[in-house]
Structures are given as structure tokens and as C-alpha cells.
A and B are shown apart, each in its own frame.
Chain A
Amino acid sequence: MKCKKVCRLLPLLAGSDLPPRENEEIKAHLQICAQCQREYESYLLSYRKTKEWLERSQEDWPEEEWQGLIQKAIQGEELVPSLRPRWRLKRAWAYALITGAAVILSLFIMRFSIFRDKTGWGAKEDADLAIQQESISMTMVSHETGLKIVWFFNKNFEIKEEK
């Protein structure tokens, strides 16, 4: 195992939170690497000290306060009316609005296309477009001579050239 990987796992080793295999591999590495060993000892020291502090610093409720807390909980009197942030509710409303808008929009589009089919509304525009599409042109201009050639293709792909 390389030093980089060992260093990454040292915080977990300090608290014995590694699987046995990795544990053994790292410990074998620590026996041959003084730098990693020093790192490990420093993790171990901070781990043990904080654990000791956590154990020594224990707070408790005064009996009256504890009883009052239970009473308030039973009566449903929260000190804070709601700890749930309001944005969560807002987000739910936003999702509902977006979904609703999407449904209305899709219904509108569907209705519009049905109306188009039934009345033939927009058919003239479609026909004009089809006429326009009956021929296409391609223009080529020479930069050196200024010669301009235009090729016209009809729907049968017959070519007509203009210079």
C-alpha cells in the first residue's frame, strides 16, 4: 500500500473503523514508514483526546426543566412553531405549478392541432411552403474573377444554370 492511500485511511484506522484486511495492510505499512507512523500517532492523539473530552463533558437537564419539556411535548406546545423550513413547502408548490402549466400547455397544443386538422386552417401557408420547396438554388461566386453561377434544381432534380 502506498503512503498516499495509507494517509487517506489513517483517520478511520485511528477509530478502528476499517475492515480487518485493510487494517492489517496499513499496520504493516506503518512498521516500515516512519512518516506515516507519525501521522497515525497524531490522529490517534487527537482522537483519544476529543473522546476523553466528550466523556468528561456531560450535561444534564435540571429535573424541573425536564419535566416541563415533557409536559410541553404532551400538550403539543412547541417552542418553535415549525422547524421545517418554509422553502420546502414553496418548492412543493413550485413543482405543482410547473406540472400544472405543462399539462395545460400540452392540452392547448393538442386542441390547437385538432382545430387545424378540422378547419384546414393554415393549409394555405403549408401549400405556399410546398411551392417554394419545388425548386432550390445554389449560388457560387468566384472571388478572383467575380463570376457568379446559379444552379436551379426542380423537384425532378433537373438542373438549370445561369451565369
Chain B
Amino acid sequence: MKSEEELVEEALNGNHASFELLLRPYRQGLLNMAVRMTGNTEDAKEICQAAITKVYKYLKNFRKGQSFRNWLLKILVNSSYDLLRQKKRATEIIESQKNADQVRGSAVEEKFLQSEIREKIQVCLQDLTPKEKSAFLLRDQEGYSIQETSEVLGCSPGSVRVHLSRARKKIRRRFQKIYENKEARA
């Protein structure tokens, strides 16, 4: 079993199989993170493609001793910010969700019961800003510490706590709404 540093070295020497081996342990994590960030698989795959292309292009800049996983996630998160910004998805999603909320109203519970887990997650994450979403996903999905999350996001641990706190508040609000509707119907 080769170490990440060895695989990086080999990939830099033009060994494509080593590059694939280097990324293989993170492939599921990358896709899941991107899906949660964007809310759909197509955009998520687009982001993963862009991120992996950047990883290959800038692999020579990867410093020894640095965490490859952190570096990879940092590229992925930044790629998703770029995509969201470029496509103006952030505002469009919020707007469309605001409008959809009015339509949903009492149908929230029904939708919740019928939908898959993935949809439940998307409902809970829909009010979050990209920063809040990435802080929440790194901490609660990937199990990163506050310090590691701050390194990936390039901000202070205090800022991560603020983003995380806001994210959990918004998620709880959405969560309560769903359960209130459920109880009211029962």
C-alpha cells in the first residue's frame, strides 16, 4: 500500500494510475459534498470534474506534509462557490425556494413523508448560504474539527463557529416546520 506522498510523486511523474489511486478513497466524499452544495447531481458532477481537473493541473503546487484530503476539499468547495456564483444559483435557488414555500405550505409534510432521505436533506439545507452549507457539511458530514474546517474554508475558527451556529439554527427551524406540520396533520 503506497502512501499519498508516494502516489503524488508518481502522478507528477506521469503515472495516471497513481493519480486515480490517489483520488479513489475520496471519490464518494467528493460527490456527496458536491451534491449537498448544489442540490442536484448534474451540477455536482460538473463541480467534481472541474475540481479534479484543477487537482491534476496544480498537483505540483501541493506541499509535502499538507493534508491531501483538506487540499482536495478546499478545491472542491471553491469550485462549488465559483459555479454557484457564475450561474447565480445561490440567489435563484433561494428565490425559487421562497416561492415554492408558499406553494408547499401544508403540503410540506406530505412531501416530507413521500420523499427520499436525500430530499429531506435538501429541504433542511435550502435556507443555508454557501458558506454556512460548507461549514456544516465539513463539520457534520465529513466529521472535520473546527480547526480543520477553518483551514479548508480559509477563515478563522471563530467564523466557522458563527457559520455553523447559523446553519444549525436554520436547519432546526426547517426541521421544526416539517414536524409541526406533521403533528398538526396527525
Interface residues of A (CB under 8 A from B): 8-9, 11-12, 14-15, 17, 42-43, 45-47, 49-51, 53-54, 56-61, 65-67, 69-70, 72-74, 76-80, 83-85
Tell me how many residues of B have a C-beta within 8 Å of chain A: 48
A14 partner residues in chain B, CB cutoff 8 A: 168
B140 lies within 8 A of A73 (CB): no
Does more than half of chain A's interface fall in helix, strand or loop, or is it mixed? Answer: helix
A46 lies within 8 A of B79 (CB): no
Give 1 or 0 for each of B69-102: 1 = CB within 8 Å of chain A CB. 0000000000100110110000000000000000
B32 lies within 8 A of A58 (CB): yes
Interface residues of B (CB under 8 A from A): 16, 19-20, 23, 27-28, 31-32, 35-36, 41, 45-46, 48-50, 52-53, 55-57, 79, 82-83, 85-86, 116-118, 120-121, 124, 137, 139-141, 146, 161, 164-169, 171-172, 175-176
B175 lies within 8 A of A46 (CB): yes
Q: How far is the CA of A51 from the CA of B139 in the complex (A)?
A: 10
Across the A-B interface, how many residue pairs have beta carbons closer than 8 Å? 119
Q: How far is the CA of A51 from the CA of B141 in the complex (A)?
A: 7
Q: How far is the CA of A51 from the CA of B125 in the complex (A)?
A: 12
**Most B-side CB within 10 Å, residue of A8, A67, A80:** A80
B56 lies within 8 A of A74 (CB): yes
B172 lies within 8 A of A84 (CB): no
A56 partner residues in chain B, CB cutoff 8 A: 117
B53 lies within 8 A of A57 (CB): no
Q: How far is the CA of A8 from the CA of B164 in the complex (A)?
A: 12
Query: Provided the pairs A46-B171, A54-B121, A83-B50 are in contact, do residues A17 and B161 lie with their beta carbons within 8 angstroms?
Result: yes
A51 lies within 8 A of B19 (CB): no
- Taking a contact as CB atoms closer than 8 A, the residue among A17, A46, A76 that contacts B53 in the complex is A76
